[in-house]
Amino acid sequence: MSFDWATFALQLVNVLILLALLRHFLFRPVAAIIARRQAESAAAVEAATRARAEAEAAQAAARAEAEASATARQALLDKAQAEAAKARVDLLEQARAEAAQIIAEGRTALASEAAASARAQTRAACDLALAIVTRALSAQPDGLDGYAARLAQAITAMDPVERAALLAAPNLRIVLPHEPSDAERGTVSAALAPLGIDAPLVADPSLVAGIELQSDSGAVLNSLRHDIQTIAEALDDGRQTR
């Protein structure tokens, strides 16, 4: 067996050269790329950690903001409810005041209308009274003679049976609005004597004017009071009919 020292030396040099070559072309680049990837991974992890921290901070901020918003919302709700309650009370008070004012105005208007109505009624009553009196007075005869003649005419126009019953009834009397004088007695007797009537003369101021023949079975009404009553009833019936 031989050993070639030249080959040994050349191989030793070759291995050293190969060591330098592979160190330059293989191990350093590969180690560098591994280190770079590790650095990038570390940077990515750090960025992710930072992003996560930022996200957590943002989440916390959002949560705090949401809580603040909820608090502000509750405060606004409370304030709105308080304002609504106050507005409700104010509106109620205002409504009550307006209602009271309306009632007062209504009462005033009602009182005014009542007064006006009362005045109108009074005026109408006056007019009515004036009309009644005017009509009644226009239908009255002149003096006691006229009343006596109209009484005699009315008695004559009565049904004979009714007239006989009237005249035959007890307590037959001739009623005048005042105590008659002798002249007036004579006038009345002269007007009724032809009819066979001889009754005492009685004074009744409520007749106002006229002469009436009265007994317990009836009466022949011939007075201003009766005419006024008749006219008033007629007017009243006409007004109700309208």
- Considering the complex, what minimum distance in angstroms separates the CB of residue 24 from other proteins? 9
Query: How far from 53 is each of 7, 41, 62, 145, CA to CA, in Å?
Result: 65, 18, 14, 134
- Considering the complex, what minimum distance in angstroms separates the CB of residue 76 from other proteins? 53
**β-strands 173-176, 212-214: how paired?**
antiparallel
Which range, of 36-44, 64-72, 88-96, 101-109, touches other proteins by CB under 8 A? 36-44
User: Is 17 among the residues that bind other proteins (CB under 8 A)?
Assistant: yes
User: Is 27 among the residues that bind other proteins (CB under 8 A)?
Assistant: yes
d(CA 161, CA 36): 155
User: Is 32 among the residues that bind other proteins (CB under 8 A)?
Assistant: yes
List all residues 6 or more positions away from 54 whose beta carbon is below 8 Å from its beta carbon. Answer: none
Q: Which is nearer to other proteins, 19 or 164 (CB)?
A: 19
User: Is 8 among the residues that bind other proteins (CB under 8 A)?
Assistant: yes
User: Is 28 among the residues that bind other proteins (CB under 8 A)?
Assistant: yes
Q: Which is nearer to other proteins, 10 or 109 (CB)?
A: 10
- Considering the complex, what minimum distance in angstroms separates the CB of residue 26 from other proteins? 4
The residue within the footprint of other proteins, chosen from 15, 64, 70, 126 (CB under 8 A), is 15
User: Is 205 among the residues that bind other proteins (CB under 8 A)?
Assistant: no
User: Is 1 among the residues that bind other proteins (CB under 8 A)?
Assistant: yes
Which range, of 18-26, 46-54, 74-82, 223-231, touches other proteins by CB under 8 A? 18-26
User: Is 89 among the residues that bind other proteins (CB under 8 A)?
Assistant: no
User: Is 47 among the residues that bind other proteins (CB under 8 A)?
Assistant: no
Q: Which residue has the tokens 């992003």?
A: 51
| Cα 103-108-112 angle, rounded to 5 deg | 145
d(CA 201, CA 188): 9
- Among candidates 237, 139, 149, 136, which has minimal Cα distance to 187? 149
Q: Residues interacting with other proteins, by CB under 8 A?
A: 1-12, 14-19, 21-23, 25-37, 40
